[in-house]
Amino acid sequence: MTTLKVVKLNVNYKTIEEFKKFKEYGIQELSMLEDLQENIIENDSDSPFYGIYFGDKLVARMSLYRVDERFDKYFDPPQDYLELWKLEVLSDYQHKGFGRALVDYAKSFNLPIKTNPRVKSKEFWNAMGFTSVTYDMERDLGENPLVWYPEGVKEQLR
């Protein structure tokens, strides 16, 4: 398989139309449409959205947010990390490396990553090297988060 190219998605109405093709479109928790609409200012605004095209069709997408250590509730000592949200691959393109390519792209920032597995996705995240966070429910925030650390990072969870 050829190398898959992850691109930063422009924040515009064309991207909204592309998002409507995804299975989870319309499900509030997983849809990035609302996030996108809130961020539409102009085509060159700082977009948290990334995707992979197959030809001219958007087939995989994710949102990736950098969280400043001031707001860190997961790592000790507090540090900057990435929060990977709403990764989705169109059903016809699943199991072909698109999801892995998005996760590998996020890992390339060399920061710890936190995500919350969706239904039936924990096996995928485990294969990507993510591990469960186990600590008291107050800190868990009911999210059941998974985390990944760059090589050499040994910080402990709070």
What domains lie within the chain, and their CATH numbers? 6-157 (3.40.630.30)
91 or 134, greater pLDDT = 91
For 91-102, b/e burial (b = at least 16 CB within 10 A) is: eeeeeebbbbbb
pLDDT interval class at 136 (50, 70, 90) = very low
pLDDT reading at 154 higher than 60: no
Q: Given this model, what pLDDT does residue 9 score?
A: 83
Q: What is the mean pLDDT of residues 13-22?
A: 70
- Give the span between the Cα atoms of 105 and 90, in whole angstroms: 18
pLDDT tens-digit map of 82-129: 999 889 999 899 999 999 999 999 999 999 999 988 777 888 999 999
- Give the span between the Cα atoms of 37 and 18, in whole angstroms: 13
The tokens describing 51, both together, are: 């995707």
H helices within the chain, ranges in order? 13-19, 33-39, 98-107, 122-127, 137-140
pLDDT tens-digit map of 34-90: 555 555 544 445 678 899 999 989 999 998 999 999 988 877 778 899 999 889 999
